[in-house]
Amino acid sequence: MRELSPYKRECAPHDLANESNRIKRACFGQPALLGASQTIEPNWLTPSLSSVPSHNNSASPFAISDSASPFPPSLDPQTAGNEVQEDTIIESSNDYELCCFGELLIDFISAAKLEQDNSHVPVELRFSGNAISLYVEGSGKYAGRLESKGITDLMQTYQVTLVTTLSCPSVNKKSTDAIQTSKTLHIVVYGFLKDMNGIGDSLEESDLFLQHPTEYDNRLEYLNPQYLLRPGSSIPRADDCIFQALPDRQSSDAVLEEKSKSQVHQVFDSASGPSFFFQVQQSLRLRTSLQEHQQKALAMMAEKDCGLIANTAFPSLWDRYTESDGDIKYEQAFPGLVVWTNTLVCGGVLADDMGLGKTLSTLALISWFLDLVENACLPESCRTTLIVAPNSTIPGWQEEIDQHIFQDQIRVILYHGSSRDQSAKSLTEYDIVLTTYGTLQSEWKLRNEESPLFSNTWARVVLDEAHHIRERSTQTFKAAAALRTSRRWCLTGTPIQNRLDDYGSLLSFIGVPPFTGKSTFDYWIGKPVTGGRPEGLARLRRLVSATCLRRTKDSVRQALSLPARIIRECSVQMDREDRELYEFFKRSASHLIAGMDAADSDNALANGNILSIINTLRLICNHGQSLLPDFAIQAWGKRSYQAVDSDLTVTKPGMCYSYLDEGHQALLDSVVCPRCANGSDSAMNNTAVGIEGNYQPSAKVRALMENLMVEQRSNSCVYSSKPIKSVVFTFWVKMLNLLEIALHKAGFRDDSCTVMIATIGSIGEGVDLTAANFVHFIEPHWNLMVEEQALDRVHRMGQTRDVVATRYITDDSMETRYAR
């Protein structure tokens, strides 16, 4: 780390009394990533040192005389040496030329009251670790405190000067109470030209973006490292920029509202590709003839696999661009964003509904590619495809390879388990290497440079059930991103579950510029969409159409002769005892909330106290007391609301991290999730489990048994050649035990196994349940996409009968609120 200057925090005073009405939050073509493959070639101009002030400038942080410069003499280019950063891609003899890099805007909350309300107050920054305290220049009055590791890292790593002002909203000056108000810290960043790209990358990593400055020293060159340019062009002067207000803070991490979610799903469902396209010759390695929609998938994947950007049949991110000298080039364009890059994007997302043959389409692509290699149309140096899949889907891949590929036409090896070391050195001798996310993550954690997964370069990497990488901070995502390949494919029937960044993570893995960074995706796509701005959906639609192919079952039902899918609801009335129990805990929740102020309510939500009662109500809807934890039963026995509140205050439910990436669902189900519940049976009331003689089914279970009986009675008279089979899904592990008792008591003991019971999370991937055609959901799931995934295991290609799904809803309960 280079030596820090004691003058780096100096800020020149500003007299901005006349500028307050003209200063606005600005965004103009910002932010965007500057990748290593992108080269900026601006017309370097010597900055004018005219003494005529800019109309955007009431005071300059740099005076014309050397004595007034905020930089110490040691930073003079004559004495600073010839140090040049290795990652700097701009070569210039003016490496130590002073530049303005733009303005940062940081919002924070502070109760500090300032006399200059609703104006820009010059402040100085005092650092303590990542904490930054703000003090009004001159008076030294405390103005607030915030934390920003990005700003701290910037100060410690680069020789910069920060000119800082604080904007404050108007407050009631007669009030003597401290009021928590939102304030915005404006930071104009100045530094040396040689540090330009490093500063831009450092800020990007911390989710900080440089805007066009509303005021700066116009005698210095303005060069924003996060502003993308086509070769030969230069950044417009801030004077000429059109400023517009930024929207309220939104994030692609946020759970989508129902309206936004519906709009986003419509965007994906419309990405079905063109009606006319050039068919790719199916390889003779395939023994299965492709359906029409699979032929289109092969055509799209072959086109994207080659990185074609000209004369494409499928939508492209790239627009044709003619330079002044007549040369034809291509650029990726959105309104307000232009990305120029020499990096080809090879790959994409195949997002067909579950059961439409994404595996077969992928095998068709690999077979087509191998034909090209063997016919010398492509170099043979790299021919191996790495397929990463959940452990549960590996047998499915092996079965489909055997089913669809002629014997000995494709060499396949499984890299998984304790025996994988024996095959490590020979993986590239095979055409397909199958491995699991668990194996990938395990070898990534070891940082083993000899791991064949990370040391080999693959012809392509295919992620099956790619929503496994939708959380960017996980080891799984980082491991997948570290794989060496020029072609990256994502297979998933659910590119969006609850959050828009589920899709953003896939783009980052594929390497679609400039959306490899979350902040850029948030700025251009996430925030406009979640903020309800129409340009957000327009951008998303173009991005999805150019990177995804998705067909729903409804869109191909006629072509595939898929049977119908029928969804029905079964309303259930609670038994009298269960209703009394339900109303008691419902009133307990009301007592708990009524005794809190707003801050306590938020804490109770975060700590799981209120959510624990919510889940208690869910359990009662299923099976009365039989599923409740001990503390709940004891409180009910005493009829004591205080006992409920007290136990909830002491109880700190553990978070099940396997559900964290399901947004709202994570919080609600973390109190007792299926995987945690299996290990917490000691906290449950076990009197009913295993004692069939004393078992009394709940109203829901009785309704289920009646429906199963009707279904099974129709076995002989309707489908004589194929028995009726039913699948029953529940969220709670403990509920499976109760269902097993109820089934035995109802006479379902046949060895032919016509009824299957399972937790809804255990059946989400890699399971073909087309042998069944009746589905039962004991309780509504918070995330309807989870129900869809389970149902799609039954209603898919290969199903020959109409599929009937029944959802059991308890009347006059919280289930009716989120299930209908």
Per-residue pLDDT tens for 40-72? 322 222 222 222 223 333 333 332 223 233 333
Mean pLDDT of 84-90: 36
Termini Cα distance of the chain? 59
Strands (E), 475-573: 484-485, 488-491, 548-549, 565-572
Q: In the predicted model, is pLDDT for residue 606 greater than 50?
A: no
Residue 802 contacts residue 566 (beta carbons within 8 Å): yes
Q: What pLDDT sits at residue 172?
A: 52
Instruction: Give the bridge partners for 160, in sequence order.
Output: 191
Residue 149 contacts residue 206 (beta carbons within 8 Å): yes
For domain 258-558, say whether CATH 3.40.50.10810 is its number: yes
Q: What pLDDT sits at residue 414?
A: 95
Q: In the predicted model, is pLDDT for residue 177 greater than 60?
A: no
Banded model confidence at residue 358, pLDDT cuts 50, 70, 90: very high
For the chain, the 3-state helix, strand and coil shares in percent, each to the nearest 5, are 40, 15, 45
Mean pLDDT of 223-227: 85
Mean pLDDT of 237-243: 46
Residue 219 to residues 97, 147, 235, 419, Cα–Cα distance (Å): 12, 32, 15, 67
215/58 Cα distance (integer angstroms): 8
Q: Which residue has the higher pLDDT, 575 or 28?
A: 575
Banded model confidence at residue 254, pLDDT cuts 50, 70, 90: low
Banded model confidence at residue 778, pLDDT cuts 50, 70, 90: very high
Residue 808 contacts residue 776 (beta carbons within 8 Å): yes
Mean pLDDT of 245-269: 67
| Torsional sign, CA 620, 625, 627, 628 | positive
Nearest CA among 577, 592, 618, 613 for reference residue 816 = 618
Classify each residue of 290-318 as buried b or exposed e, where b means 16 or more C-beta atoms within 10 Å of its C-beta: bbebbbbbbbbbbbbbeebbeebbbbbbb
Give the Cβ contact number of residue 676 at 10 Å: 18
Q: What pLDDT sits at residue 243?
A: 37
Q: What pLDDT sits at residue 115?
A: 59
Q: What pLDDT sits at residue 169?
A: 62
Banded model confidence at residue 766, pLDDT cuts 50, 70, 90: low
At 813, list the tokens: 């309960």
Nearest CA among 216, 212, 242, 238 for reference residue 225 = 212
Q: What pLDDT sits at residue 181?
A: 67
Q: Which of 113-127, 177-191, 696-710, 748-762 has the highest mean pLDDT?
A: 696-710
Q: Which of 430-444, 639-653, 688-702 has the highest mean pLDDT?
A: 430-444
Q: Which of 135-144, 322-331, 766-775 has the highest mean pLDDT?
A: 766-775
Mean model confidence pLDDT for the chain: 74
Q: Which fold has domain 692-819?
A: Rossmann fold (3.40.50)
Domain residue extents for the chain: 20-240, 258-558, 573-683, 692-819
Q: What pLDDT sits at residue 507?
A: 94
Say which DSSP state 120 is in.
E
Q: What pLDDT sits at residue 657?
A: 30
Same CATH topology for 258-558 and 692-819: the answer is yes
pTM of the model as a whole? 0.60
At 558, list the tokens: 């006629």
**pLDDT tens-place string over residues 442-477:** 998 887 667 899 999 999 999 999 999 998 888 999
Nearest CA among 819, 786, 787, 815 for reference residue 622 = 815
The length of the chain is 820
Q: In the predicted model, is pLDDT for residue 438 greater than 80?
A: yes
Q: Which residue has the higher pLDDT, 671 or 485?
A: 485
CB-based contacts of 667, cutoff 8 Å, min separation 6: 605, 608, 611
Q: What percent of the chain shows pLDDT beyond 90?
A: 29
Q: In the predicted model, is pLDDT for residue 229 greater than 60?
A: no
Residue 373 to residues 11, 494, 586, Cα–Cα distance (Å): 62, 33, 66
For residue 188, give the H/E element and its range.
strand 181-192
Strands (E), 452-507: 457-458, 460-464, 484-485, 488-491
User: Among 399-403, 481-485, 639-643, 753-757, which is the least confidently predicted range?
Assistant: 639-643
Banded model confidence at residue 692, pLDDT cuts 50, 70, 90: low
Say which DSSP state 145 is in.
E
Strands (E), 63-138: 98-110, 120-128, 131-136
Q: Are strands 755-759 and 726-730 parallel, antiparallel or unpaired?
A: parallel
